[in-house]
Homo-oligomer: A and B are copies of this chain.
């Protein structure tokens, strides 16, 4: 008997028929004698419908009220999933985030989990019930409903797996694992049997849509081993864990493209200590996540600063900087949305030379201009023209021989 946390995303519970299929999968795991805690998302499309209704009323709806509104999506799914299990004669009970004891900070729409009181779930597991938990949501100290932001349901699952000391955590999605590249872009992309947290993190932050970074970070922090797999078939998925067996042999593990980035260039700002601190403090206060950063010292005591942000945040970033510019009496912002970030990821690359050179040569051969470069221990990212990103990804995938099993 194992204690398993499963998570099913929006497409996996997209309609009544899908919910019934998910219930059958849960029942199969339960019938093997396992304890099951199941985290579900809102049915796909529901969250967007709710957002559309709110936006039809108010351009900038209150974040507290958006949490109140969006939390209904998962609440509907947990009840329907529990009912579907009852229809299969499986004992099951649904929990909202609040009922599951998921306490968060007060940052509406982007709350962070602070603690989990797992006692109520433990009690129902002991009573032989499958516990269905609403993903994406929690409750703050004042009893307000909060939501965890993008990828919040994955985070709920991994946090519950940690709190409940689960033996396994299975994240069901509409892809059956982590690939060496997006199979829709790179035809001969290959599914990986295992990947390390760090590689997964770099892939996530590089635009691989399988999971959000924060969930992987959380898993790494609490050493939660999880498997990414598909709810639409029974193929084995990709196991995400601390150490992976092939670590010594393989240099590059995957290629990722992120088109949801905008390049922000700030010019004519004072070239004095504290300039960058002020800029990024203002962006942090506006809850904007900045990715690649390059600073060029200009002439005549003025500097340029270039960085990337998620496309949806670029104009908010511009606004957040206005008071800083006013203080300095100068500063200009230029935003370029037509860029993409191409990343090459692999734990092996830190002890191998030539990985960066291969990437730059590949892009040069294609005549693709590199606008920004940033590197970490296990990743090289370049910002290039968005229109040529897929082509560049295919060329890089081939250059590293990723189509061959590692």
Q: Could you tell me which A residues sit within 8 Å of B by CB distance?
A: 16, 19-20, 50, 53-54, 56-58, 61-62, 64-66, 68-69, 71-72, 75-76, 78-80, 82-84, 86-87, 93-94, 96, 99, 143-145
Contact = CB atoms under 8 A, between A and B. Distances in A.
Contacts of A144: 99
**Secondary structure of the A contact surface, majority rule:** helix
Given A16-B56, A64-B93, 4 more contacts: A19-B57, A57-B87, A68-B75, A69-B79
A219 to B, nearest CB: 29
Nearest to A94: B68
Given A65-B94, A94-B65, A84 B57 contact: yes
A115 B320 CA distance: 47
**Most chain B beta-carbon neighbours within 10 Å: one of A16, A58, A71, A94:** A58
Contacts of A19: 57
Nearest to A145: B96
**Most chain B beta-carbon neighbours within 10 Å: one of A16, A65, A82, A87:** A65
14 contacts: A20-B57, A50-B76, A53-B76, A54-B80, A58-B84, A61-B83, A61-B86, A65-B94, A68-B78, A69-B79, A69-B83, A72-B76, A75-B75, A99-B144
A270 B86 CA distance: 40
Given A72-B75, A76-B72, A143-B99, A83 B54 contact: yes
A20 B56 CA distance: 10
Given A72-B75, A75-B75, A80 B53 contact: yes
B58 A87 contact: yes
A56 B80 CA distance: 10
A58 to B, nearest CB: 4
**Most chain B beta-carbon neighbours within 10 Å: one of A56, A64, A68, A143:** A68
**Most chain B beta-carbon neighbours within 10 Å: one of A53, A57, A78, A82:** A57
B64 A80 contact: no
Contacts of A68: 75, 78-79, 82, 94, 96
A19 to B, nearest CB: 7
Contacts of A56: 16
Contacts of A83: 54, 57-58, 61-62, 65, 69
Query: 9 nearest interchain CB pairs?
Result: A69-B79, A72-B72, A68-B79, A58-B87, A61-B83, A65-B79, A65-B82, A58-B83, A72-B75
Contacts of A87: 57-58
Contacts of A57: 16, 19-20, 80, 83-84, 87
Contacts of A71: 75
Contacts of A62: 82-83, 86
Contacts of A93: 64
Contacts of A80: 53-54, 57, 69
A78 B86 CA distance: 30
Contacts of A53: 16, 76, 80
A252 B54 CA distance: 48
A66 B79 CA distance: 7
A9 to B, nearest CB: 19
